[in-house]
Structure 1
Amino acid sequence: MAYTKVAPSKSSGASIVYARDGKDNDKDKCVAMSGLNCDPSNAEYEFAVVRRAHNKALKEGEDIQARLIIQSFEGEELSPEEVNEMGYELAENINEKLGGGFQAVVYTHGNTKNLHNHIVFNSVNADTGKKYTMHYEKFEIEKMSDEIVSQRGLNVIEKQKKDITTNGERKLRENGQYVWKDDLKDRFNRAFDKTLLNVSKNRTENLEEFKKNLSELGVNVKERYVKKRDTTYFTYVFTDENGKKTDCK
């Protein structure tokens, strides 16, 4: 079973040092490591060299210098090497989806009940200088991770979100009645499945195709870019079965 968490970092050096050495230089914390297009024992310096070469993401604490991915495994008898291999494969798949040329490191931790990977991606491409950008990043990475896990014959679990179901919605479901959240989720999944049938290597084309497929199902997409977090937020707007217009983030 595997969980994934994705977050931006404004200090790639601090993220790498913490993942590799721990807060107090705990050498027993990191039980396996690997690097994609870089040396994991020297990655903080190699990441910085690339950013300086392209004059991007230089201001630590202000610019997004890295993307962090936590890949945690539960309830499986796995060795540190196996867990690190799955993290490295995930990093390879992400790099390929981004067009190649990105640096990433994978540090496997064994200091908690469950083995887990800390994957750190440089936000600047070593070859082109372009910034790391992935639409629907968390969803895409979770899907990649699940595929890697299932290919190895391991269990894939549903991602658990905080239960915000109201008593009214629960009763409607129990009685087999209409719930707008279920309707929107169904439309979202249908649009995504249709997009996968015509997926291309161009991320912008895929996003536009997905938005078009949603629109055909009566769902409009609003985008809002937040420069401070280097993140685009999406709001889905549709009219439910009862004629009520609903916005959902």
Structure 2
Amino acid sequence: MAYTRVTRTANGRGALMYAAGHTKGHNGHEQRNAMVSYVNLLPGVDPADQMQTRWNKARKNHTTQVLRIVQSFSRNELNPNNPEDILTANMIGQEFVQKHYPNRQAMVFTQIDGKSGLVHNHVIISDTDLIASKGCTKDQYYFPKIMEWTNEIAGQYMELDFGDKTEDKTTQTERHKREVGEYVWKDDLKSRITESMQVSETEEDWISNLTKYGVNVEVHDSKKRGKYYTYELMDTSKFPEGKKIPANLKSRSYKLGTRYDAEEIESYFLKKEQELQKQKEAQREVPEEKVRRQEPRTKLQEQEPVSPAPKPVHRVKQKPAQKPVARPAMPKSQTQTNNIVRLMGEDDIDDMTDVVDEPVSRDNNDWMALALERKMRQDAKKNREKTQERLNTVRQDASYMTRLRSSDVVARIRNAQREDDNSPDL
């Protein structure tokens, strides 16, 4: 896309003399213009004199004499070292005048002497037409329209280079001032805009805070450009002493760069609002997440048994009267063994043997009673030995059982005792 700039001036002769140039070009070029062409003018005759004839016929309140338009092309569009590209640029300027400024006198100066060395046109157009001696129309003054017309014609000769959008636009004059350390009021304006954005959460806050940073802002909405801002630097305290302060310290947002335009600023505050919302949601979710993580652990802790125990179905199938099968002994801690012995109820066993040891009442003269008593004592001794054997067996069996109730052990011993009582030996 060709870069375009337009200005109006009341000194048409001076504009023509400046564009023609009678000295060396910029950057030490021996020649100011690479090519010059005429539209509705006679070559070899002073173009200012030819235009002056028409300027004299204009109304007295018509002060503008010429319109100066600059058309610049990137290196991807036209090569400054190629003479054919220089001719192409000059032809674009001529066609531009003939199509969009008919019946007007003009000159096209094609140059490559700028600091950037790019191919560019200085098109000087008379503001007074050849027929009615009237000035240009509103569209012919309107910069966006002029830029559109330039790209329309240039696109017929080449593929336009639209490039990337510039975040921070600066002019050559501003860049030169930066290099030599001079104050640039637009740089001051940009820094104030950025600082205000950093301390604001929404676009409304930012617009309100700009006044605190010495900047006035106006919000506009146009059909062609959409929403944009007009910034004005109100605080001039940073201007160097003795330096003249410009009367107009305003700049439109799209002229400062995309970083300061409405679309980028709206996107900035939208992202900032989303980040704040995420932080608030994260703060609310942290306690709830902790509760959710704790609940399953609590339930598991409640379900976990303190110590392993046999399944209930195994205890139901066990019959107290069934004689236990001897199993090989396995080492157990002293604490477990002692607990099992106490659960078996030795006091109950002693009570049972006391019944057997109880002396039988007899007559001292009855020798049969003495013999019977002796027999009973012998049988009781045998029963105690059998009971002790069964007790040892029960103890060995109990070492493999967990949570064995003392009542079950006692019941088994009593059943064993009943079997002895029912023995025919007694």
User: Normalising by structure 1, what TM-score?
Assistant: 0.59
Give the Å deviation of 1:82.
0.9
The answer on 1:167 being equivalent to 2:194 is yes
Aligned match of 1:38:
41
Give the Å deviation of 1:140.
1.0
The 2-side partners of 1:119 and 1:39 are apart by: 16
Larger relative contact order, structure 1 or 2 (CA cutoff 8 Å, min sep 6): 1
SS of residue paired to 2:118:
coil
Counterpart residue type for residue 140 of structure 1: K
The answer on 1:50 being equivalent to 2:77 is no
Aligned match of 2:86:
80
User: Aligned in 2, Cα 1:18/1:177: closer, same or farther, shift over 3 Å?
Assistant: closer
Give the Å deviation of 1:41.
4.6
Structure 1 residues 143-201: Cα deviation after superposition (integer angstroms, max 9, x where no partner)? 1112233332121355847686623785699x997898xxx66x42xx349xxxxxxxx
Aligned match of 1:125:
129
SS of residue paired to 1:64:
coil
Match among 13, 29, 32 for residue 29 of structure 1: 32
The 2-side partners of 1:2 and 1:38 are apart by: 26
CA contact (8 A) 1:33 1:40 kept: no
CA contact (8 A) 1:101 1:128 kept: no
Gaps of 5+ in 1: 194-213, 218-249
CA contact (8 A) 1:9 1:64 kept: yes
Aligned residues: 183
The 1-side partners of 2:199 and 2:104 are apart by: 48
The 2-side partners of 1:142 and 1:172 are apart by: 37
The 1-side partners of 2:44 and 2:137 are apart by: 26
Structure number with the higher helix fraction is 2
SS of residue paired to 2:55:
helix
The 2-side partners of 1:176 and 1:142 are apart by: 34
CA contact (8 A) 1:57 1:65 kept: no
Match among 148, 160, 165 for residue 153 of structure 2: 148
Give the Å deviation of 1:85.
1.2
Identical-pair percentage: 20
CA contact (8 A) 1:146 1:156 kept: no
User: Normalising by structure 2, what TM-score?
Assistant: 0.36
CA contact (8 A) 1:93 1:144 kept: no
Give the Å deviation of 1:120.
0.5
Give the Å deviation of 1:124.
0.8
The 1-side partners of 2:58 and 2:5 are apart by: 29
Give the Å deviation of 1:80.
1.2
SS of residue paired to 2:137:
coil
Runs of 4+ in structure 1 over 4 Å off:
55-58, 157-165, 168-173, 175-180
Aligned match of 1:5:
5
Give the Å deviation of 1:110.
2.2
Matches within 5 A, 1:58-137: 63-76=63-76, 77-78=78-79, 79-95=85-101, 100-112=102-114, 113-135=117-139, 137=142
Counterpart residue type for residue 91 of structure 2: E
Structure 1 residues 101-153: Cα deviation after superposition (integer angstroms, max 9, x where no partner)? 21111111122311211101111111111112324611111111122333321
CA contact (8 A) 2:58 2:134 kept: no
Gaps of 5+ in 2: 80-84, 171-185, 208-218, 228-426
Structure 1 residues 60-116: Cα deviation after superposition (integer angstroms, max 9, x where no partner)? xx9321111111222233321011111222222331xxxx32111111112231121
Aligned match of 1:223:
none
The 2-side partners of 1:92 and 1:171 are apart by: 50
CA contact (8 A) 1:104 1:119 kept: yes
Counterpart residue type for residue 89 of structure 2: V
User: Aligned in 2, Cα 1:101/1:94: closer, same or farther, shift over 3 Å?
Assistant: same
User: Aligned in 2, Cα 1:40/1:90: closer, same or farther, shift over 3 Å?
Assistant: farther
The 1-side partners of 2:12 and 2:60 are apart by: 10
Counterpart residue type for residue 154 of structure 2: V
The 2-side partners of 1:11 and 1:109 are apart by: 22
The 2-side partners of 1:130 and 1:171 are apart by: 51
